[in-house]
Amino acid sequence: MTRVLITGFAPFDGERVNPSWQAASLVAAEPPAGLTVTATELPCAFGDSLVALREAVRTVGPDLVLCLGQAGGRPGVTVERVGINVDDARIPDNKGRRPVDEPVVPDGPAAYFSTLPVKACVAAMREAGVPAAVSNTAGTFVCNHVAYGLGHLIATEFPHIRGGFAHVPWAPEQVTDGQAPALPPATVAHGLRALLTAAARTPAGQDLKVTEGATH
């Protein structure tokens, strides 16, 4: 059995729910065949989120880690290719912190690439009927903070783990104007099960050789 840690965030910016945690909980409640999945909710706060992530990794002892966050406005699940070493918050986190141009890890490398097979993960979700894409930016808020922080944990403390980050769209209940794209958390969870299965089956260091580039 492949042990998986999946994380989502607590609600932030005045929202009542966070679809990343909703989807993570659903996947843990009904994991894919061959995988044991533990879900952990991370605080939407700089610093505190990485403390909670490290503790969860130490407790669960996973083979794979998938961290999730909300990206309102994106139409599908986006698997992040890279996390960068900068915090630059447009809005305060849940502790009122709003860092500007600060490193996630002082003296850390500029970026960490995901160690998940991002293209195979996207292909698996599409095959499952869930809209998905590779993303080349995780932003500069707490999502990127965790994406980079996970990469740093893997590089410095847990080299046997493979892990990465994915953004999920708003849940329908969060869209009040009826115009913004949204996906039900159950649909997202269906796609994430396919993602995790693909990640577990793809040997480390391998991925599909297909185009998922972007011009902007």
Among the listed residues 44, 67, 121, 167, the single catalytic one is 167
Nearest-angstrom CA–CA distance, 46 and 122: 28
What single-letter DSSP state applies at residue 172?
Answer: G
80 is catalytic: yes
Among the listed residues 121, 143, 145, 190, the single catalytic one is 143
What is the pairing mode between strands 2-9 and 35-42?
parallel
**94-126 as b/e, with b when 16 or more CB fall inside 10 Å?**
beeeebeeeebbeebeeebebbbbbbbbbbbbb
143 is catalytic: yes
Give the residue among 34, 35, 123 at the shortest CA–CA distance from 79. 123
The answer to whether the beta carbons of residues 90 and 197 sit under 8 Å apart is no
Helix boundaries (H) for 31-184 = 48-60, 118-127, 142-156
30 is catalytic: no
> Phi and psi for 82 in degrees, rounded to 5?
-150, 145
Residues belonging to the active site: 80, 143, 167
